[in-house]
Amino acid sequence: MIRLDGVSYAYPDTVRPVLENVSLDIGRGTIAGILGASGAGKTTLAKIIAGFIPHVDGGELSGTVSVEGQGMGDLQLAEAVSRVGLVIQNPFNQISGARYTVREEIAFGLENFGVARPEMQDRVGEVADLLNLGPLLDRSPYELSGGQQQLVAIASMIVLRTPVLVMDEPTSQLDPAGTRMVFDVLSTLRGAGITVVIFEHKLELLHQHADVLYVLADRSIVAAGDPTDILADAHLAEWHIGSTRYTRVARAAQKRGLLAGLRHLPVSLEQAVAVFADDGGAR
Amino acid sequence: MTGMHLRFEDVHYRYPAGVEAIRGVSLAIEPGERVAIVGQNGAGKTTLVRHLNGIFKPTAGTVHVGDWLTTDHDIAELAARVGYVFQNPDEQLFARSVQADVEFGPRNLGVVPEETTRRAEQALATVGLVEQKNAHPHHLSLSERKRVALAGVLAMHTPIVVLDEPTTGQDAAGIDMVGKVMDTLAADGRTVIVITHDMDFCAEHFPRVVVMTNGQIQADGDARTVFGLAQTLAEAAVEPPQLIRLSQRLGWGYSPLNTAEFVEYCARRRSERVG
């Protein structure tokens, strides 16, 4: 579905590549989480998968990037955008600035794709229901809070019904309820066969929703696999990636001589309850 | 540097479009306190703290920053007392280099050039951006831009520092760094107010927590007590920190605020059981 083979990239006028020899193979209808410290190249990788690199940013891209078997480098940007929706990190910059209401803002991409008006209205209504944006549809995008703008940015991509969504920290401005809603919506989209690549720091939610996690460090993918295994990986700290408080507290308890014989560090609340209930917790 | 007391008295604020965002807030904060304001999007958190630097003036009620009534002072004057780090750094950064941006605040307050430079260098060292000092802020990542904005406020040496969502977009090291900055500001005696959705960060660095919903304060107290108010938090759509959720599931009747407290309590239970 999404396949990167030996991808390396350097921005224009720079020598040192941001990414080197990155390979990924993400199946259809998957939620793939990508972890990485600031500066690891996450935003660059998001733009590469979405075709914004090299179409918009230029630079030296080598290796191959394909979505549904189609090489992204062979497509015009407009064609790439119809396959991959990109939710950028800062919602304040995703709002088009060309529309006066949230309704028009969400419809903006559909207008550009030439979707007929009745269908456009139906699709905007549908995505507004999905993300609880109904009461905001007639407001100006610029009057909204940061969290509300972020939901509008997400809605404006989901409405396009691209087979792939790439999301760069899509819940950074949202409260816990809004964040859970977005992850639940992503799980629903996965059920409809949409593939989601999400760059996130919220490890507990990634553990609950992602099918696979990748770790981006030292300009390449250094680990990939089941979320429970990746989040308990002892190397995460070396890659400057945090761990859930459940994992941290279990490590600290082990250092204190508690949890003797523990073989798998907990990464989620449920796992931590099981671990600590056996060692002085619930009894 | 000493902090300064803050006082909101029955504050109401209505946006020009008619929405009443703050509906009768009274809150007193002592010099040197660290206070986190939490609550769901749209609860009025940002609107409330923007009264401190005079971006908003109350529709009714009063706000005091030290001995100043905010309605008697403009934003430029209040900037000498209240450093404000915006949620979106792009609302704050405008100079052509990181160093120039960080120097803008103190220079604007009339600090002499040598001292301005010294403060900027110190602030950039604190947020780990010395190497980027000549870069254009807009060539930096979002997390770096947020740290530039933080450095700009640190360099102003204001007695009050307000931070709106300082950890968003930061990786684990960035969050640790922001936490250390909070602790250092508190050690300097400055008053620190943060708005955050990151309850783990909040529990670890802010002894006092204020919960807001619909423009009103629902709870205000020490972090351990407030995070134990399950019903209030649920109504405010605030999720307790991970370690408190864990302790609640374990039926402890104790709310550990950090890893050390959790492990200590766990060890004590075990030794009591063995004993």
Test B250 with A277 for CB contact under 8 angstroms.
Answer: yes
**Least Cα separation, residue A283 to chain B (angstroms):** 8
User: Rounded distance, CA A42 to CA B193, Å?
Assistant: 31
Please report which helix (H) or strand (E) contains residue A67, including its range.
Answer: strand A60-67
On the question of a cis peptide bond just before residue A54, with omega within 30 degrees of 0, the verdict is yes
Percent with pLDDT over 90 in chain B: 73
User: Rounded distance, CA B212 to CA B232, Å?
Assistant: 10
Of A173, A240, A269, the CB nearest to B172: A240
**Least Cα separation, residue B174 to chain A (angstroms):** 8
Of B170, B237, B241, the CB nearest to A38: B170
How distant, in Å, are the alpha carbons of A21, A70, A235 from that of A113?
Answer: 34, 20, 45
**Least Cα separation, residue A199 to chain B (angstroms):** 11
- Cα-based torsion angle of the residue sequence B59, B65, B68, B71 in order, rounded to the nearest 10 degrees: -20
Residue carrying the six token digits 């209808």: A29
Q: Which of B86, B138, B249, B265 to mutate to test the interface with A (most CBs of A within 10 A)?
A: B249
Q: Quick one: residue A94, left, alpha or beta (phi over 0 = left, psi -120 to 50 = alpha)?
A: alpha
Predicted TM-score (pTM) of this structure = 0.89
Of A174, A252, A276, the CB nearest to B250: A276
As given in the structure block, the two tokens for residue B131 are: 């190497």
Can you tell me the ipTM of this complex? 0.89
Test A92 with B88 for CB contact under 8 angstroms.
Answer: yes
Q: Residues B262, B234: contact at Cβ < 8 Å?
A: no
Residue A106: per-residue pLDDT: 95
Closest alpha carbon within chain A to B243: A245
Test B252 with A281 for CB contact under 8 angstroms.
Answer: yes
Q: Which of B40, B41, B205 to mutate to test the interface with A (most CBs of A within 10 A)?
A: B41
Q: Quick: pLDDT tens for A53-88.
A: 988 888 889 999 999 998 888 888 888 888 999 998
Residue B233: per-residue pLDDT: 94
CATH of A2-234, one of 3.40.50.300, 3.20.20.80, 3.40.50.720, 3.40.50.2300: 3.40.50.300
Of A36, A245, A273, the CB nearest to B243: A245
User: Rounded distance, CA A29 to CA A34, Å?
Assistant: 16
Has residue A29 got a pLDDT over 70? yes
Per-residue pLDDT band for A282 (boundaries 50, 70, 90) equals very low
User: Rounded distance, CA B59 to CA B160, Å?
Assistant: 23
Q: Quick: pLDDT tens for B117-174.
A: 999 999 999 999 999 999 988 888 888 899 999 999 999 999 999 999 999 888 888 8
Residue carrying the six token digits 């480098």: A73
Closest alpha carbon within chain A to B19: A143
User: Rounded distance, CA A122 to CA A120, Å?
Assistant: 5
Test A258 with B267 for CB contact under 8 angstroms.
Answer: yes
Test B273 with A283 for CB contact under 8 angstroms.
Answer: yes
Of A90, A174, A258, the CB nearest to B41: A174
Closest alpha carbon within chain A to B143: A38
Per-residue pLDDT band for A251 (boundaries 50, 70, 90) equals very high
Chain A environment of B234 (Cβ under 8 Å): none
For the purposes of burial, counting CB atoms within 10 Å of the CB of A12, is it exposed (0-12), middle (13-18) or buried (19 or more)? Answer: exposed
Q: Quick: pLDDT tens for A227-246.
A: 999 999 989 988 989 899 99
CA nearest neighbour of B269 among B258, B253, B257: B253
For chain A, the domains span 2-234, 244-283
Has residue A283 got a pLDDT over 90? no
Chain B environment of A178 (Cβ under 8 Å): 40-41
Test A249 with B246 for CB contact under 8 angstroms.
Answer: yes
Q: Quick: pLDDT tens for B21-46.
A: 999 999 999 999 999 999 988 899 99
Half-sphere exposure of A85 (CA within 13 A, CB side): 23
Backbone angles phi, psi at B205, to 5 degrees: -125, -10
Average pLDDT score over chain A:
91
Helices within A192-281 (DSSP H only):
203-209, 227-231, 245-255, 269-277
Of B171, B200, B267, the CB nearest to A256: B267
Test B269 with A280 for CB contact under 8 angstroms.
Answer: yes
Residue A175: per-residue pLDDT: 86
Closest alpha carbon within chain B to A36: B171
Backbone angles phi, psi at B24, to 5 degrees: 85, 65
